[in-house]
Amino acid sequence: MTAGTNKLVNVGRSTYIHYGHAQDFGYDGDKGPSHWGEQYNSCTGKHQSPININSLDVKKVNLPPLVFQGFDVAPRETNLTNNGHTVVVTMESEVTPTVSGGPLSGVYEYSQLHFHWGDNDTFGSEDMIDNHRFPMELHIVFYKQEYKNARTALNFPDGLTVLAFFYEIAPEDNPMYQEFIELLGNVTGSHLSERFETPPSLKDLIAKDLLHYYTYDGSLTTPPCSEVVTWIDFKEPILLSHAQVQAFRALEDEEGHPLTHNFRPVQPLGDRVVLYNTDELIKEVDLDEEHPAEPEGVDTNKIDTPKSDETISSPKDPSLRKHPRNAASSPIMNRWSVLGALLALVWTVFSCSDRC
């Protein structure tokens, strides 16, 4: 998630934030990520983004459905701006897109979207999945509605959420991005803007599978690195051609240098647990508690038992570990227990017959 100069820019009902002076940070040398903490203490925090998500060390969950409002509505006006660190898309619309549900508490309103990419097609995304970097990543930024705007939301631990989508290279151009890519050629220099003739809806720009995603608590990925973001990383990638991704690398930064890469290195996961939302039925058994009857219409005989590499909890979260006494008893031991009881009964009968 990116930022630029110290001001709040209004575009219709949407806003995006620039935090600090444009010269304050960059992606190389003295202004690179390893130096951000010298000016911004939050950049050395314990819950920073991006991270590497190990798919074998996530906790599988069934979260409530995400609710998307206004994603299929084409805005009245959409602007594309090179802010010297990335390309930012803001919009003015009759219906401001919102997202709620899933891991979120409350309704979050659209602020802006932007991109992160690398020098070539082998890397560029900020978050990684199983140590794999994608060539590019989309961040759609929302602020919690009750905080009124994105700037105020930075003061609250649940202030922002970012919907993140990865890109993969496809042999053909993605027609949904045709005008987008054409406009990039008109905003090569920093602080140049262009307006879409046919504004796309958010639905036009994102993947179709919005059910399978990873989510964790993290931070902005640029200074001031505020730890106020609920990250939602969707599993299904968006497809672009090599030429389409290459168009982003032609943009220039504040100093007129090619903006060939603008991603932060991954940060330590620390004590955080990454959740993976799935449509598989997750059943957690606690033998100490009574459990409701199975819902009607569910054939429990067809529910697959998770394999050893499924529904794995982080070993760093003691509350998620199974208690040893919750282990199922051995079938062999159960049979011996029944046999012993029968023998005791026979012995009692014979003893009584001798005395009576």
Cis peptide bond N-terminal to 224, omega within 30? yes
Measuring CA to CA, which residue among 80, 83, 82, 79 is closest to residue 20?
83
Q: Which of 85, 114, 116, 139 is catalytic?
A: 85
Side-chain half-sphere exposure of 121, counting CA atoms within 13 A: 14
Distance CA 174, CA 297 (A): 41
Distance CA 48, CA 57 (A): 18
In 3-state terms, what secondary structure has residue 37?
A: helix
Cβ–Cβ under 8 Å, residues 199 and 78: yes
Distance CA 54, CA 266 (A): 12
Cβ–Cβ under 8 Å, residues 11 and 79: yes
In 3-state terms, what secondary structure has residue 331?
A: helix
Distances (CA, A) of 78 to 52, 73, 235: 33, 12, 27
- Residue 261 annotated in active site: no
Distance CA 324, CA 336 (A): 22
Residue 4, burial from CB neighbour count under 10 angstroms (0-12, 13-18, 19+): buried
Query: What is the token pair recorded at 13?
Result: 């009902």
Q: Which residues are identified as catalytic? A: 85
